[in-house]
Every structure is written in structure tokens, then in C-alpha cells.
């Protein structure tokens, strides 16, 4: 398919083709996508509301949870609505600028969430390895600095992606075999050398995400050593239990992202395009959906506040109904 404006190096729009090979069953795909997206929005919104309205929960661990929930909403909302519009209305067009904006926010959300997960690992390190100085170490000022660092780092490392993509000519094809725009899927359509894009992507992956993963692993090595030194089995169980939720979230977040990164580099020789795109969609759906569930189920304070909020809402509805019946 040829682009309509041959006088420009940029097309007016791209066409997102969805998931190759599954075009005949859009409704079958859209139902789980829609359910997971709504669950993600509800779960993360409840988590933000519960932590934001309860002063007793405005502690480092819970504040990091709230930041993670905001990132999850941004990540899924950047991609899933467009994906559903492809499935439901065959709305494949996305403007060139819209594609760049979507690319920016996808990578921005990923970078910010990675930094927040690292901050949460530091929180667990301080809580278990340095409990006596926990409050003095993780002050409100430090938490604010960590948030500013996470946002600033993401902006500085993702903004060059936009300029690197904008400089490329796209004069052969406007078809993106994906459900959303991201750096490499756009770069591969260019009719010029994309070596700079590939190298910069590798540098960012190594210097940002790679460093985050290494520091998280090192922090948990120290944490495990500290926990195993505890004499009480009950204390060891309690310490490990506080880390399980965070470890589950880390695995859910990095595994599909790592798979997608490898798939882009090895091409479709070992990973089919269909599998690659499905996993890429699971990456923006499953972690945002599961994170509030994991924290809600495994964190007693969160669970109690959610039940209390639901009970108060039910009691208020009963009172209103009785008042209206009079």
C-alpha cells in the first residue's frame, strides 16, 4: 500500500493492522481485552482512591503502590482503546503525530514504572535490612526526589525516540503490523538506515532497564541474606511475605517486556509475528490488571480499607433508599 503524499517524507497516517492471522475473530479477541482493561481501570482507581483518602496508608510502601497504579492506568489507556477500536470498528488509521505520541507514552510509562519498581525494592531493603532507620531513610523529601528522578529519566531517555523517528523517511509503506505504535515497529517502515535507532534502543535498554533489573536483583540478594539470618521462623515468614507481592509484580512486568525486546532483535525467524504481538498486548494488559489484585489480596491494610469503603457505600445506599421510601 502506497502513501498518499509522496512530496513529504512523512505519511499523513499509518494503518494499524491488529494481530495478523486473527483478523477473522475480532469479537473473540475484544472481549478478554475489554474485560482486562476495565478490570485494570477499576482496580487501579480503587487502589489510588483508598491510599489517597486514608492518611494511615500514606507511607512509603503505599505511596509507591499508588504511583505504580497511576503508571498502569497510563500504560493501558495509551494502547487498549485504540486496539479495541480496531477490533470493533475496524478503525485502523492513526495520524503520524498520533503514532509518535503513542510511542512516547508507551516507552515513558515503561521507564517510569521500572524506576518505581526499583524504588519499591529499595523500600523493602530499608524495611527489612535497616528497620531502625527506616523512617529516617525514606522521608517524604526522598520519596518526592525518587518520583522526580523517575519522571525526569523517562522524559530524557524517551524524547530522543520521537526525534529519531521523526527524522526518518516513510515512503514505501504505511502498514504497521501491530495493534499500537512503538519505536521499532515504526522504525522498520523507514526507507533509510535505522542503525542509530537500533543502537540507541539497545543503549537505553542496557543503561536504564538493565541497570534497574540488576539493582533490584542485588537488593533482593541482600534482603534474602538478611532474612535467612533471622532466628525466628515467624519473623522470616513475615519478612518474606512482605516481599512476595513486589516480586510477583516484577516478574509480571519484566517478563513480557523482555520477550518483546528479544523478539524485535531476533526478528520473526524464531518468534512468529502473531505470538510477538499477542505477548506485546499482554504486556500492556496483564500487569496493570494484576498489580492491584496482587496488592489487594496480599496486603492486609489495603484489603481492610477496600472492604470498609465498600461497606460504607452499601450502608449509605441503604440509608438513601430508606429516606426515599418515606
Q: How high is the pLDDT of residue 90?
A: 86
Cell of 105: 507514552
What is the per-residue pLDDT for 272?
Answer: 78
Number of residues written out for the chain: 326
Rg (CA), the chain: 22
Bridge partners, 184 (sequence order): none
Listed in order, strand segments (DSSP E) in 155-300 are 175-176
User: Which of 47-56, 127-136, 236-245 is predicted least confidently?
Assistant: 236-245
Q: Please tell me whether residue 167 adopts helix, strand or coil conformation.
A: coil
Q: Which range in 8-17, 215-224, 249-258 is most confidently predicted, on average pLDDT?
A: 215-224
Determine the Cα–Cα distance for residues 158 and 171; give it in Å rounded to an integer: 25
Is 7 strand, coil or helix? coil
At 19, list the grid cell: 494481530
6, pLDDT greater than 60: no
Q: Which residues of 153-177 are buried (b: 16+ CB within 10 A; e: fewer)?
A: bbeebbeebeebbeebebbebbebb
- Give per-residue pLDDT as tens, 46-63: 999 988 888 888 888 899
Nearest to 194 by CA among 226, 163, 165, 221: 165
Q: What is the residue whose three cell numbers read 530499608?
A: 126
Q: 94 has which bridge partners? A: 14
For residues 96-109, average pLDDT: 95
- pLDDT of the residue at 325: 56
- Select the more confidently predicted residue: 320 or 278: 278
pLDDT of residue 113 exceeding 90, the answer is yes
Within 10 angstroms of residue 255's Cβ, the number of other Cβ atoms is 15
CA atoms within 13 A on the CB side of 260: 22
Alpha helices by DSSP H, 267-325: 273-298, 300-325
pLDDT grade for 5, boundaries at 50, 70 and 90: very low
- The CA distances from residue 292 to 45, 66, 77, 142, in Å, are 9, 10, 16, 24
Are 180 and 103 in contact by the 8 Å Cβ rule? The answer is: no
Q: Is the pLDDT of residue 318 over 90?
A: no
pTM beyond 0.85: the answer is: yes
- Asked whether residue 319 carries a pLDDT value surpassing 60, the answer given is no
Measured over the CA atoms of residue 183, residue 188, residue 193 and residue 195, the dihedral's sign is positive
Lowest mean pLDDT among 10-14, 56-60, 260-264: 260-264
With pLDDT > 70 as the criterion, what percentage of the chain qualifies?
Answer: 89
CA distance 57 to 51: 6
Indicate if the pLDDT at residue 297 is higher than 50: yes
The model's confidence at residue 206, banded by pLDDT at 50, 70 and 90, is confident
Please report which confidence band the pLDDT of residue 266 belongs to, taking 50, 70 and 90 as the band edges.
low
Mean pLDDT score, 247-260: 86
**Looking up cell 512530496, which residue turns up?**
7
Query: Quick one: pLDDT band at residue 153, thresholds 50, 70, 90?
Result: very high
Residue 3 is predicted with a pLDDT of 44
Amino acid at each position: 500500500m502506497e502513501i498518499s503524499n509522496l512530496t513529504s517524507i512523512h505519511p499523513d497516517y499509518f494503518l494499524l493492522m491488529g494481530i495478523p492471522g486473527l483478523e477473522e475473530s475480532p469479537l473473540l479477541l475484544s472481549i478478554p481485552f475489554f474485560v482486562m482493561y476495565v478490570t485494570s481501570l477499576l482496580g487501579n482507581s480503587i487502589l489510588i482512591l483508598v491510599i489517597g483518602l486514608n492518611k494511615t496508608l500514606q507511607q512509603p510502601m503505599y505511596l509507591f503502590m499508588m504511583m505504580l497504579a497511576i503508571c498502569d492506568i497510563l500504560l493501558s489507556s495509551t494502547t487498549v482503546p485504540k486496539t479495541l477500536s480496531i477490533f470493533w470498528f475496524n478503525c485502523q488509521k492513526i495520524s503520524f503525530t498520533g503514532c509518535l505520541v503513542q510511542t512516547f507514552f508507551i516507552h515513558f510509562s515503561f521507564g517510569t514504572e521500572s524506576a518505581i519498581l526499583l524504588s519499591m525494592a529499595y523500600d523493602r531493603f530499608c524495611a527489612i535490612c535497616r528497620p531502625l532507620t527506616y523512617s529516617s531513610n525514606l522521608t517524604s523529601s526522598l520519596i518526592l526526589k525518587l518520583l522526580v528522578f523517575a519522571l525526569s529519566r523517562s522524559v530524557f531517555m524517551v524524547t530522543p525516540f520521537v526525534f529519531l523517528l521523526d527524522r526518518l523517511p516513510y515512503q514505501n509503506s504505511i502498514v504497521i503490523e501491530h495493534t499500537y505504535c512503538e519505536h521499532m515497529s515504526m522504525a522498520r517502515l523507514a526507507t533509510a538506515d535505522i542503525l542509530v535507532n537500533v543502537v540507541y534502543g539497545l543503549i537505553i535498554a542496557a543503561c536504564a532497564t538493565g541497570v534497574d533489573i540488576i539493582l533490584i536483583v542485588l537488593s533482593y540478594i541482600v534482603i534474602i541474606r538478611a532474612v535467612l539470618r533471622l532466628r525466628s521462623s515467624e519473623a522470616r515468614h513475615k519478612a518474606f511475605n512482605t516481599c512476595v507481592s513486589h516480586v510477583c509484580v516484577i516478574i509480571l512486568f519484566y517478563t513480557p517486556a523482555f520477550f518483546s525486546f528479544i523478539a524485535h532483535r531476533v526478528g520473526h525467524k524464531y518468534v512468529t509475528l502473531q505470538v510477538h504481538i499477542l505477548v506485546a498486548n499482554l504486556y500492556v494488559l496483564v500487569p496493570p490488571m494484576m498489580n492491584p489484585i496482587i496488592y489487594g489480596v496480599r496486603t492486609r491494610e489495603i484489603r481492610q480499607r477496600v472492604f470498609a469503603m465498600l461497606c460504607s457505600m452499601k450502608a449509605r445506599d441503604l440509608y438513601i433508599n430508606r429516606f426515599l421510601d418515606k
